[in-house]
Amino acid sequence: MRSKKFILLVILFLLLLSQIPFAYRRFKLRRLSNAIQQLESQRTPTQTNGFKEYKGVVHVHSFLGGHSAGTFSEIISAAQTNQLQFVIMTEHTEKEFDTAAMTLQGPHGGVLFINGNEKSAENGDRLLVLPGDVSIVAYPQEFKNWDTARVNGVEVYNVFTNAKQANPVVAFFDVLWSQRAYPDLIFALYFRRPDENLKKWDQALTRARLTATGGNDSHANIGVSLNDSSGKKLLGIQLDPYAVSFRLVRLHVLIEQNKPLDATTLVEAIRAGHCFIGFDFLGDSSGFVFEAENPGERKIQGDEISLGADTKLQIRSPIPASVTIFKDGAVLFGQDGMTSREIPVKDRGVYRAEIYLPELGNLPWIISNPIYVR
């Protein structure tokens, strides 16, 4: 009997000991939350001349097309909670019915919804197809048809792809310790720069103009629950509700001030690359500016500009940050603690920016779209 008690005490001690790392990880999330609040207090207003900024999410699924039980009401409510201006639905296709035609579209609850599909080719390539014949490469790390596909963009970051890299046992205990207090910041424990996808995008930019987007890949289908015979949930936990998923990554789109936000102007702005990716769970990235100008032109990300003697890039961050400028995929320039900077341009090429917040562990905060200097 004593030996059994001893064994139980040893097991209990080992279980308690195993939880120390997760308690520390929760402590790290508390420090991260405090650091984000401190950075937000340093925010200064910025403005892109002639354009208005709208924020939303791309790559969202509902109960249509399987893989999800999420309802329209849940999606609309989550968009309102996150103060989004738009949501781009990308329903899985079905043979028997048109899921894009049946999903959310138009204004609902003050949010603009765009009805699209996620389509798969026979070779496994997947595209996000939006109205207006706009196609975005989904899961570029698996995409094969780069040379012949007619596409307009690349989903360089995907929440689901990033989350798959997490150890499920570690993730389970992180959720137990931190999900209630820090439901979105838990993701910071697993968040990584999408190195491979960015490399593929940089290579593709040498051949064509392609817009970078970030995909929430929201399904609201991860969790455990106990339901009654009618399907009503009695008890359970949802690990990826839309309200949390919509906070992780957002697309910030720039539309000319004299134009309304509607399906046509939104999709055309995305096609043109007038947008940037913001990992807003680290802090709202609204107000980021990346432009180029010469004596006769001023252009924003996604545009082309002529190389001249006085051509320069202009970059402004709403929060002091570490800025890296890439030219044709290679690092050209870097500066810490920056809020505003002009950078002379001497050579033709494809220029883009990445913004980091070293106080938060040097995690990517913003990925811009390119400016093409011709």
pLDDT digits (tens, 9 = 90+) for 113-138: 999 999 998 889 999 999 999 999 99
DSSP-derived letter for residue 93 is: P
d(Cα 280, Cα 176) in Å, to the nearest integer?
A: 23
Q: What are phi and psi of 240, to 5 degrees?
A: -130, 50
Assign 238 a pLDDT band (cuts: 50, 70, 90): low
0.85 exceeded by the pTM?
yes
d(Cα 281, Cα 246) in Å, to the nearest integer?
A: 9
Tens-digit pLDDT profile for residues 244-296: 999 999 999 999 999 999 999 999 999 999 999 999 999 999 999 999 999 98
d(Cα 44, Cα 205) in Å, to the nearest integer?
A: 32
Q: Which two tokens stand for residue 122?
A: 């026979």
- Residue 236 bridge partners (DSSP): 225
Which residues are CB-contacts of 237 (< 8 A; sequence separation ≥ 6)?
Answer: 175, 179, 223, 224, 225
d(Cα 126, Cα 162) in Å, to the nearest integer?
A: 17
Helices (H) and strands (E) in the chain, counts: 9, 20
Q: Which two tokens stand for residue 142?
A: 């698996």
- Sign of the four-CA dihedral 94, 70, 223, 78: positive
Which residues are CB-contacts of 17 (< 8 A; sequence separation ≥ 6)?
Answer: none
| Annotated domain spans of the chain | 18-373
Q: Are strands 250-256 and 51-60 parallel, antiparallel or unpaired?
A: antiparallel
Share of the chain above pLDDT 70, in %: 95
Which residues are CB-contacts of 303 (< 8 A; sequence separation ≥ 6)?
Answer: 272, 273, 274, 292, 371, 372
3-state secondary structure (DSSP) of residue 22: helix
Share of the chain above pLDDT 90, in %: 71
